[in-house]
């Protein structure tokens, strides 16, 4: 069991990766530009694991038999290794093959700086956004402009349509929530949350945290002058929606 545990775990990981790639769900974990590389490396790994399996099956480990402890103590404890291996393999099967893949949620937002990645835009990038097609802007684009320090005059007359999951504003959770997405540079480990603030008192009674919505509105000054979010969307209607096939932005 000790000899084959690594081989079995490797095969489980290989099957899971190939399945995610074939079903288009690999994007829940890595940036699309790494899809081909990951699948190719997984196929190579499969060949190597199968080769190791074949070579191991043809080889008898006489060394272990020669030094086997046949005492009563060894008989009692020798079942720990198989039991531990079975538990480990079962956990891998459940975690990688049985449980459905899922996106990052508010639980991750609470551990990272919301809109922190939006501050990394250069002045050139901000300039390009300022003169772009606003009707095609994503949550990331609007969040970047808001974080850049643009004032209310800049946003006057501009209508935003944003889709994302609901996550509360830490400083004003009763009145403001963010329509949020995750920006993925390499993989889910480095994903950074970004979002557009929506002023909607009592939103908790209508929308559950992590549910997906679409909001369309112009930007206005936050009615709560004490809030840390000076510019917000105040939409007349917020539409519940399904999580898109591609929940992250790049």
For the chain, 250 residues long, give each residue's pLDDT as a single digit of tens: 566 777 788 888 899 999 888 888 888 888 888 889 999 999 999 998 888 777 766 654 555 554 545 555 555 556 666 777 777 778 877 777 777 778 888 999 988 888 876 555 555 565 566 666 777 888 988 998 888 877 898 888 889 999 999 999 998 999 999 999 999 988 888 899 999 999 999 999 999 999 999 999 999 999 987 788 999 999 988 999 999 988 998 8
pTM of the model: 0.75
Local structure of residue 240 (DSSP, 8 states): E
Cα separation, 215 vs 179, in Å, equals 8
Backbone phi and psi for residue 165, each to the nearest 5 degrees, phi listed first: -95, 155
pLDDT at res. 125? 60
Cα separation, 165 vs 180, in Å, equals 5
Cα separation, 110 vs 209, in Å, equals 12
Cα separation, 152 vs 43, in Å, equals 53
Domain boundaries, the chain: 2-98, 106-240
Structure tokens at 84: 């531990």
Structure tokens at 164: 């994302």
Length of the chain (residues): 250
Please state which CATH number belongs to domain 106-240. 2.40.50
Cα separation, 198 vs 188, in Å, equals 25
- C-alpha distances (whole Å) from 148 to each of 40, 115, 117, 128, 168 are 40, 11, 11, 13, 21
pLDDT at res. 58? 60
pLDDT at res. 221? 94
């Amino acid at each position: 069991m000790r000899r084959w545990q690594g081989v079995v775990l490797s095969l489980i990981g290989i099957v899971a990766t190939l399945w995610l790639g074939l079903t288009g769900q690999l994007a829940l974990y890595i940036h699309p530009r790494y899809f081909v590389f990951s699948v190719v490396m997984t196929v190579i790994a499969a060949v190597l694991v199968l080769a190791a399996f074949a070579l191991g099956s043809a080889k008898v480990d006489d060394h272990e038999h020669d030094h086997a402890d046949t005492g009563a103590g060894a008989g009692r404890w020798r079942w720990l290794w198989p039991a531990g291996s079975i538990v480990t393999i079962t956990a891998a099967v459940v975690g990688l093959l049985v449980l459905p893949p899922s996106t990052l949620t508010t639980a991750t937002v609470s551990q990272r700086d919301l809109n922190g990645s939006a501050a990394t835009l250069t002045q050139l990038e901000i300039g390009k956004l300022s003169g772009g097609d606003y009707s095609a802007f994503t949550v990331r684009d609007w969040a970047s402009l808001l974080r850049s320090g643009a004032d209310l005059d800049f946003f006057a007359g501009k209508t935003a349509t944003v889709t994302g999951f609901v996550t509360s504003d830490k400083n004003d959770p009763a009145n403001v929530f963010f329509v949020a997405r995750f920006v993925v540079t390499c993989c889910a480990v480095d994903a950074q949350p970004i979002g557009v603030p929506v002023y909607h008192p009592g939103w908790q009674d209508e929308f559950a945290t992590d549910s997906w919505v679409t909001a369309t509105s112009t930007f206005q000054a936050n009615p709560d002058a004490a809030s840390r979010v000076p510019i917000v969307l105040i939409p007349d209607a917020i539409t519940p929606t399904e999580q898109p096939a591609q929940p992250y932005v790049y």
